[in-house]
Amino acid sequence: MDLPGRETDSMNYDVLVVGSGIGGMESALKLGDMGYKVLLVEKEASIGGKMILLSKVFPTLDCASCISTPKMAAAAHHPNVDLMVYSEVEEIDRNGKGTFNVKVRKKPTYVNPSLCTGCRQCETACNVAVPDQFNANLAARRAAYIAFPQAVPKKAVIEKEGSSPCTFTCPAGIKAHGYVALTRSGKYDEAFNLVLGETPLVGSLGRACYAPCEGECTRDMVEGAVPVRRIKRFIADRYYQGHREPVYSAVEKTKVHKVAVVGSGPAGLTAAYQLALKGYEVKIFEAQPLPGGMLRTALPSFRLPKAVVDRDISNVTALGVVIETGVRVEKISQLREEGFDAVFMATGTNKDVTLGVKGENLEGVRGSLDFLRSVNLGVEPSLKGKIVVVAGGGNVAVDSARAAVRLGAQRVIIQYRRGREDMPAHRWEVEAALGEGVDLQPFCAPVEFTGKNGRLAGVKSVRMQPGEPDSSGRRKPVPVKGSEFTTPADLVITAVGLTPSTGDFEKELKLNGNGTFAVNTETLQTPVPYIFAGGDAVTGPSMIVKAVGQGKRAAYFIDRFLSGESLDGADYDRRLGPVAGEAVLGRQESLSRLEPVAEKEIPLEESKAGFSEVELILSEEEARYSAGRCLDCGVCSECSQCAASCPANAVDLGMREEKRELEVGSVIVSTGFKLFPADAKPQYGYGKYKNVITGMQMDRLLAPTRPFNTILRPGDGKVPDSIAYILCTGSRDKTVGNPLCSRVCCMYSIKQNQLIMGSLPMADVTVYYIDIRAFSKGYEEFYNQAGGMGANFVKGRVARIDEQESGNLVLTYEDIDGGGVIQKAEHDMVVLSVGILPNTDPFGLFTGEELEQDDFAYVKETDEDVSPGKTSIDGVFVAGTASGAKDIPDTILHAGAAAAQAAAYVERIRRGK
């Protein structure tokens, strides 16, 4: 928005109007008509306030929309009125000139309003349902929504409170919440494609990812995390069953540059995939006979079947990426000479760290990678009858032990120098190994491998005990003197760490002390500009999903490099901060326990007998149930279906909030009122009895844009026959701290009585009241008209409501006109005519000078009798119900007065008086 400048002063606007209900709109329009420049700020996505949500107005029974919408359209199109919707005034400070410095926060709508046509396609495609505040929470809307059919502006908004913790924590930026939400909706292919947009390794990650997302899942604070990884496996397996090959073909090479990727592990494959999608010609060089890196060679097939790896890799090759296997790149510059414009080094950590103990070079002592590689290539001989000792406590050690079990070893021992709880391997993998009969020996460390004729015969080990804490804070294990013991062994597998094999490149690239490539950690660029490096070759041994993230990052910056764009300040990761789990749980008053689906595996004997995949897939029912446990932490799941469905390309999930600082001449506070929370009168059962609703909810049921097809009771969808109204709920009631009459409850209830009797001619309406206040023009006649139509008015305070099995409600009340006896009456629906309360939000807006409250916490009018709208701050005026309960005509009158006051003030400061 271009802020209008004025030739004669520095103000951006003459008047700021805070709040765009009927009062705010009226003030803005009057001032605009007078020629003043007005900024109208509204926190919701549409102007109109509460009035636009009403059915009709009293006593004329004019359509509320018919009255409101012309005002809304006029406010939106008035040449002197600018709107800022979905925006909040954060601070108002009166300055020495008598004008006001204002800070406004424009919340991101994630939809470009200039492109949005209001077609609601995004809303229909959205996969997150939330209560619809514009329908008094009677029904659902979507996270992507248009406030209501008459909204002005009629533009979609996407409700997003931040990143869901699962998505935020994923090193690869995979939108976990998104595919979980899609799975919940039964949109499995869309869920698969959402993951595929980030990485080709959907099936592999569905099995072998260590799922940091689950560690951050808010459900884990209740009864257990959503099984995000297993849901991913479900969608991958389901997709692959239906699509043996990718459905797409090679991408057109739109870029002139060629990229070489060295290494075909998770980082290399992901980088190649992303670069190919961007239109680059990409070739992967792999030293092993088959592609896949650690996925192929290190992870045993009982955890990750190689057919899954092959299918994942076909996602890459289908794009036209060529993988040349059995080729060891030893000189990067040669790739440059062969015409590659950029190189991504993703060579992983493909060398075992040695233990450094005597006898390590004996035949029968092997590194874990060497062992697992030959297992995965199917060339490892049977270990039947053999004793195998594995040294180490990480996942590779556990995988090696479990592989040895499957090769028929008579006994498999894991020796780890610390305690079981300190093992880097995941708890469930250790438990699985123990379940398969692996013998875990914690606090044991090999000190020598003994042998005969160059062949391993046994392992000499020493018992350990926790010593002093080391630099990491963990207690360093120290040997127990005299505790040595020997274990006969046919095979030792050392699994004490992995290291990169980067020696060939030390003349071309800078290496870190641990042999990893030195890179800019943001861009992954090495000191040689055209060479980038990532994955384990940079980070050291890590998670697959972290390597995937490195591959994605590398592709992004290689593209920028080849496009001639600066790599600095590229703002690669634009995710919003995570929503706190406590805040998510705080949205609900109660939360049902939904137990996680237990992990299921093939029978133990079958598992030990071969390399069949151990973990069983979730059934469709289990997957949807599990996805249904998601709490939608960020609200929007980032499933991107809104963007995919938008015909105008208006969805912009990268939009961020904007802060604006303005100078205005005067301020009108028109922030309206709040409704009394009906559950503060527990004897009426609101929130507990399904057929007790509020007056605002009934107004929504009566409105043409109602959430139901007609007036239905919420308990079971029955058209009610007998409806009771309880007036003065939360008004004139010192027990709830509100002694004031709300001035509108009698009349809106009588209005609803008449509308109900018009819509449901057979329905009985009974109004329980203390006295009817029909104080304004035409109100008494309106009241009498309702009686004439058949409304039954019973003078008496309702003491309590009890719910019957049928959902009907029995009211116990004092029948004042009947002699004060206690009576009971049964109705099938009760409407609580809730009163109105002050909105105290504006008091926090002002700095420097205090906006004073009256005795009831409304904005105080300091000179109400002769100067309506004037507040305690010179130049700040109040309009409508922000200063006290008013009906619509009084609100409009009051808003006009406030506009006149503001205009006079602006003229005064212009003249310097």
The residues binding another protein (CB under 8 A) are 120, 123-124, 127-131, 137-142, 181, 184-186, 587-592, 624-625, 627-628, 631-632, 687-691, 707-710, 712, 714-721, 803-807
**Closest separation between CB of residue 144 and another protein, Å?**
12
CB 834 within 8 A of CB 843: no
Which H helix or E strand runs over 216?
helix 212-216
Give residues with Cβ within 8 angstroms of 194, minimum separation 6.
175, 178, 179, 182, 639, 640
**Closest separation between CB of residue 119 and another protein, Å?**
10
Rounded-to-integer distance, Cα 5 and Cα 137, Å: 42
Say how many C-beta atoms besides its own lie within 10 A of residue 824's C-beta: 10
Nearer of residues 439 and 803 to another protein, judged by Cβ:
803
Rounded-to-integer distance, Cα 463 and Cα 67, Å: 86
**Closest separation between CB of residue 719 and another protein, Å?**
4
CB 714 within 8 A of CB 131: no
| Greatest Cα-to-Cα distance within the chain, rounded to the nearest angstrom | 114
Nearer of residues 182 and 533 to another protein, judged by Cβ:
182
**Closest separation between CB of residue 127 and another protein, Å?**
6
Nearer of residues 511 and 648 to another protein, judged by Cβ:
648
CB 906 within 8 A of CB 876: no
Structure tokens at 469: 């804490």
Helix (H, G, I), strand (E, B) or coil at 117: coil
The dihedral region occupied by 441, where left means phi > 0, alpha psi between -120 and 50, and beta the remainder, is beta
**Closest separation between CB of residue 209 and another protein, Å?**
24
Rounded-to-integer distance, Cα 118 and Cα 853, Å: 40
**Closest separation between CB of residue 239 and another protein, Å?**
18
Which H helix or E strand runs over 433?
helix 427-435
User: Which of 822, 826, 805 shows the shortest CA–CA distance to 813?
Assistant: 822
CB 212 within 8 A of CB 170: yes
Which H helix or E strand runs over 693?
strand 692-694
Nearer of residues 805 and 817 to another protein, judged by Cβ:
805
Nearer of residues 144 and 276 to another protein, judged by Cβ:
144
Rounded-to-integer distance, Cα 810 and Cα 651, Å: 50
Nearer of residues 19 and 685 to another protein, judged by Cβ:
685
**Closest separation between CB of residue 222 and another protein, Å?**
11
Nearer of residues 370 and 803 to another protein, judged by Cβ:
803
- Report how far Cα 324 is from the mean position of its chain's Cα atoms: 41
Rounded-to-integer distance, Cα 396 and Cα 399, Å: 5
Phi, psi of 172 (to 5 degrees): -95, 0
Nearer of residues 183 and 539 to another protein, judged by Cβ:
183
Nearer of residues 519 and 651 to another protein, judged by Cβ:
651
Helix (H, G, I), strand (E, B) or coil at 898: helix
**Closest separation between CB of residue 589 and another protein, Å?**
5
- What is the CB-side half-sphere exposure of residue 819 using CA atoms within 13 A? 2
Nearer of residues 443 and 689 to another protein, judged by Cβ:
689
Nearer of residues 259 and 756 to another protein, judged by Cβ:
756
User: Which of 113, 22, 116, 34 shows the shortest CA–CA distance to 75?
Assistant: 22
**Closest separation between CB of residue 592 and another protein, Å?**
6
Residue given tokens 């598992």 in the structure block: 607
CA distances from 348 to 97, 502, 541 (A): 66, 9, 8
Helix (H, G, I), strand (E, B) or coil at 584: helix
Nearer of residues 493 and 627 to another protein, judged by Cβ:
627
Phi, psi of 20 (to 5 degrees): -120, 35
Nearer of residues 691 and 753 to another protein, judged by Cβ:
691
Structure tokens at 511: 């290496």
Nearer of residues 382 and 592 to another protein, judged by Cβ:
592
Give residues with Cβ within 8 angstroms of 324, minimum separation 6.
283, 284, 285, 286
How would DSSP label each residue in 46-74? SS-TTGGG-SEETTTTEEHHHHHHHHHHH
Integer Rg of the chain from CA? 35
Residue given tokens 């409105």 in the structure block: 703
Rounded-to-integer distance, Cα 893 and Cα 896, Å: 5
**Closest separation between CB of residue 120 and another protein, Å?**
7
Nearer of residues 114 and 590 to another protein, judged by Cβ:
590
**Closest separation between CB of residue 728 and another protein, Å?**
25
Rounded-to-integer distance, Cα 725 and Cα 684, Å: 11
**Closest separation between CB of residue 157 and another protein, Å?**
17
Give the per-residue SS3 of 227-267.
CHHHHHHHHHHHHHHHCCCCCCCCCCCCCCCEEEEECCCHH
Phi, psi of 729 (to 5 degrees): -80, 105
**Closest separation between CB of residue 641 and another protein, Å?**
11
**Closest separation between CB of residue 626 and another protein, Å?**
10
**Closest separation between CB of residue 827 and another protein, Å?**
14
Nearer of residues 127 and 766 to another protein, judged by Cβ:
127
DSSP 611: -
Which is it for the CA torsion 437, 441, 446, 452, positive or negative? negative
Rounded-to-integer distance, Cα 528 and Cα 711, Å: 72
Nearer of residues 110 and 689 to another protein, judged by Cβ:
689
**Closest separation between CB of residue 141 and another protein, Å?**
8
Nearer of residues 331 and 688 to another protein, judged by Cβ:
688
**Closest separation between CB of residue 121 and another protein, Å?**
8
**Closest separation between CB of residue 64 and another protein, Å?**
20
CB 877 within 8 A of CB 906: no
